[in-house]
Amino acid sequence: MPYEAQMVNLKLKSLVKVPELQLRKPKKDSTLVKKDSTQTVTGDTSRKKKPTPKFNPITSTDYVYWKLANSYRLNADYKNAAKTYKTCVERNAYPDARYYYGLSLMALKKYNEALVEFDEYVTHSPENDSLMRVAEKKESSCYFALDTMTNVKREVIVRMFDTLIFNKGTANFAPQYYLSPNKIIFTSARRNGVVNDPEKQDSKYLCDLYYTECLDSVWQRPVNFGRPVNSVLHEGAGYITPDEVMLFTRWSEVNRDEVFIFMAKMTDGKFFEAFKLGENVNLPGKKSMHPYVNFNGTRLYYSSNRPGGFGGFDLWECIIDEEGQIGPPKNLGRNINTAGDEMSPFYHGVSNTLYFASNGLPGMGGLDIFKASFNVDDSVYTFPKNMGGPFNSSKDDAYFIMERTQQRGFFSSDREPCEGGHCYDIYEFQNAPIFFDISGYVFDAVTNDPIPGALVTISDVHGDDEPLYIVTDEKGYYFTSLKADREFFLKAQKTKYLADKGSRITKGLTETTHLEWDAFLSKIPDGEVEIEGIEYDFDKATLRPKSKENLDKIVDLLNLNDNLSVAINAHTDARGNDAYNERLSQARAQSCVDYLISKGIKKDRLIAKGWGEKQPIIPESEINKMVPKSPEFEAAHQKNRRTAFKVIGESSLKIINKTN
């Protein structure tokens, strides 16, 4: 079969001398799962281990059935593979026949039957059998597939049936956008490809890079890039950067175990000679493939079985500097990579989401397409989520790409048989419209009673859209739809209450999502509220740095409650004469007001009032009963020396329209 994305981390002894067939599926001595891998999905520890059954001596007939079953499986003829493996199980000569029988049943979507075989294999296999742990993971995959089949998603998938365009020949896969959503490059093995000697080479079994363009809603006949991009070797999985640089995969001419990523620079649609990237990407004797560069050209993603990974093929990234130099590789880590194979990375920049294919995570069978969100602040990927059906099937599904708007895209799958067996076709998908909305309740923070008639304001933090204003109903409930790719600031207000705030985002969400936010409002206090931590220099009205930090909280309060006016009250203790204390307190109150004004609070919302010693919390008569200069005595005076605010005015709630 042509070069395609069927890879496993095995060292198989060849059944026949065809290198492509040595890349398919594990035998019992597979290193597919490492003993110390945290990605391993453990089985049901409550199951009792049954005695390892006795197997019959291997006869020549057993040997033929076993080899025949493996041949069917490695050629993706799962119907005949299942039938033949069943015979092997019944003849009871090869211990691992039951595992591969279950694997073949999975590929045929017979998940319940596969579960029986995997369970039987797990409960009878040796404790140290690594393939037993793989079988446990396959059980998880069967349960996932059964659940997915009963919960059909809303995406619509359309196969590109036009055999003159995408799905002509023996393999078509790895679509990528060619600087525009209406132009793509892809890999295909078809007639009239690049060969040296047509009599000795059949391009039907050699992969080349092609491109096609959609004009007037019709995809045009594909064009072979020709030399120097394509050669007499396999080329595939190409990507063209906005700087017109093509990165693509090419098999080694010397060593079948080597696959490298090449680069070819382009000018006016014509390419210079391609050259192999350095050892930050390619290593002798290893495979590096499926390059993808993010939109701003700062990161190269690719798949490789280079040392330092978690087993099989892992996803790696390299930083690209301003001069275009590719830095050292970094493994994307355990959240993405497993002991199986990860491949065909695609990073959707708008949603900060990595899409890739894996056979090391629970799936529906073969390679499945997964997505993982990237937290830009923490530089961490979330645990991958299986895309489920209809993107994934019981066969191999990979090479997912999607437009920036998240409405349509392409992927590759071998779910349908093709000429000569199973091979990739390119599928186009169109998402059902993605919707976002938010709802919630506004409550009294003390009584938890709902507050009807409260105003909920939802603002785009970047100011690109007009704010949304919703008034809660008689149950304190609100609801509204939201735009995609936004970050929102939420505020709930009601007269005689202090406002509450929150935030929600739709940016990065790739599925219809219902958001929720409840607000809890506290009633405006009748009296004054002390502003803790306000300190001044001795005998002065100068604010200390710590005082400014605490006044910033009042700035936030007044910005949130933009309908309130407040008085800043300053008080002294009774020591010193009345006139002096009043002047000092007035100056201190004014210092606070001046600071608030400097932070953008309007002057007409603020009043500075110095009360001197007129409004003590602890009367002087009580203080005089205390031991002079004792801790209790000093604490009482300190309590009277305070700065506070009091709400003195409340205007109607504001609905701001930018056009007014």
Asked if CATH classification 3.40.50.150 holds for the domain at 529-650, the reply, yes or no, is no
Confidence of residue 160 (pLDDT cuts 50, 70, 90): low
Position 148 pLDDT exceeds 70: no
How far lies 414's CA from each of 48, 78, 176, 447, 659, in Å?
Answer: 38, 12, 18, 60, 55
CATH number of 227-430: 2.120.10.30
Domain locations in the chain? 31-149, 227-430, 436-523, 529-650
Position 133 pLDDT exceeds 50: yes
Residue 184: both structure tokens together = 């793509």
pLDDT number for residue 151:
57
Confidence of residue 537 (pLDDT cuts 50, 70, 90): low
Higher pLDDT, 409 or 37: 409
Position 9 pLDDT exceeds 80: no
Q: For the residues 277-290, what does the mean pLDDT come to?
A: 95
Q: For the residues 97-108, what does the mean pLDDT come to?
A: 89
Position 620 pLDDT exceeds 50: yes
pLDDT number for residue 198:
76
Spatial separation of the C-alpha atoms in residues 648 and 660, rounded to whole Å? 28
- Contact by Cβ (8 Å): 200, 184: no
Position 27 pLDDT exceeds 60: no
Higher pLDDT, 638 or 499: 499
pLDDT number for residue 421:
60
- Neighbouring-strand partners of residue 23: none
Higher pLDDT, 65 or 621: 65
Closest alpha carbon to 192 in 179, 177, 208, 176? 208
Q: For the residues 635-640, what does the mean pLDDT come to?
A: 70
Confidence of residue 162 (pLDDT cuts 50, 70, 90): low
pLDDT number for residue 39:
41
Q: For the residues 236-264, what does the mean pLDDT come to?
A: 91
Position 655 pLDDT exceeds 90: no
Q: For the residues 367-392, what does the mean pLDDT come to?
A: 89
Question: What letter would DSSP give residue 608?
Answer: E
Position 75 pLDDT exceeds 90: no
C-alpha dihedral (248, 253, 257, 261), degrees to nearest 10: -20
Architecture of 436-523 per CATH?
Answer: Sandwich (2.60)
Higher pLDDT, 130 or 517: 517
Q: What are residue 556's phi and psi, to 5 degrees?
A: -60, -40
Q: For the residues 490-511, what does the mean pLDDT come to?
A: 91
Position 43 pLDDT exceeds 70: no
Position 53 pLDDT exceeds 70: no
Position 628 pLDDT exceeds 90: no
**DSSP codes joined into one string, 129-198:** -HHHHHHHHHHHHHHHHHHHHTS--S-EEEE---TTTTS-SSEEEEEEEEEETTEEEEEEE-TT---S-T
pTM: 0.64
- How much of the chain is helix, strand and coil, in % rounded to 5? 20, 30, 50
- Contact by Cβ (8 Å): 76, 149: no
Longest dimension (CA), the chain: 115
Closest alpha carbon to 226 in 264, 170, 176? 264
Task: Count CB atoms within 10 A of the CB of residue 298.
Answer: 13
pLDDT number for residue 143:
78
Question: What letter would DSSP give residue 21?
Answer: G
- The topology under which CATH files domain 31-149 is 1.25.40
Helices 130-149 and 97-107: angle between axes, nearest 10 degrees: 20
Spatial separation of the C-alpha atoms in residues 571 and 643, rounded to whole Å? 6
